[in-house]
Amino acid sequence: MKDVERHLREKSSERTLLATLVDPANVSTSDLGRIASDLEKGGADLILVGGSIAAGVDLEEKILAIKSEISIPVVLFPGNVDGVAPGADAILFMSLLNSGNPYWIIQVQALAAPKIKKLGIEPIPTAYLIFEPGHTTAAGWVGWVNPIPRRKPQIALAYALAAEMLGIRWIYLEAGSGAEKPVPTETIKLISNFTDLGIIVGGGLRTQEQISERAKAGANIVVIGTKIEESKDIKSEIKAFSNALKEASKGL
């Protein structure tokens, strides 16, 4: 798919989109096609592919297995340079703004940029913020995160404003994969009200109520990850989340 960012902007102006995060390190290549098909049939609007540790092993092969079964966008969610591989429609070109290590703020991006350019993968410029208790998750640990305090949404807004002034167009807010508590709705509302950034929210979203609340708060895209990995009926689970999002988006 071409012009993925434009597609996401247009579609998310109509309703909040449902993204599913597939960690290729946790799923065998032989299962990926079936899982991807179930995700699309259930109502997922896009599939994110990536993880914090060992996600690059056989990544190209796994992307192709996913794309062979679906028509929705496949977007890389890289945890490092090894998270870049051919075949994806786009990549969240992210800077982990609240990392204490400059590697995750700009150095890894410089290392990955030539490869992304050569492969012709569409980059979607994205600021990345991890909230409490995300420093205890894999992403927070790997990324040397100084987590955003849940009770200080103004700190997140300051980062969001800085990102927008730097020309970044999207922001990914998360508490870490499998986090006990998701990103607060107050923070999402604040960023939605005071910036024009596209807002992606993930980490710790397990219930229909949680994703509906974040849709109503202003999220353009909500991401389900661990919940799907644990599911025994992916298509039905995704369908329930998709329907909840469509209902929550009415009147927005």
Q: Residue 108: what residue type?
A: V
CA 132 – CA 20 distance, rounded (Å): 22
pTM of the predicted protein model: 0.95
Q: What CATH number does residue 49 fall under?
A: 3.20.20.390
Confidence tier at 51 by pLDDT (50, 70, 90): confident
Residue 174 DSSP SS3: strand
pLDDT for 186:
98
As for how many domains the chain has, the answer is 1
CA 125 – CA 171 distance, rounded (Å): 8
Q: Taking all residues of the chain, what is their mean pLDDT, rounded to a whole number?
A: 93
Q: For residue 102, give every residue at least 6 positions away whose Cβ sits within 8 Å of its Cβ, in sequence order, or none.
A: none
Write down the residue that tokens 């449902």 correspond to.
18
Q: Are 240 and 224 in contact (CB under 8 A)?
A: no
Confidence tier at 251 by pLDDT (50, 70, 90): low
pLDDT for 18:
98
What single-letter DSSP state applies at residue 226?
Answer: H
Q: Which domain holds residue 150?
A: 4-249
Residues 41, 47, 52, 58, CA torsion sign: positive
What would the pLDDT profile of 120-144 be if each residue is shown by its tens digit? Answer: 999 999 999 999 987 677 888 899 9
What single-letter DSSP state applies at residue 131?
Answer: B
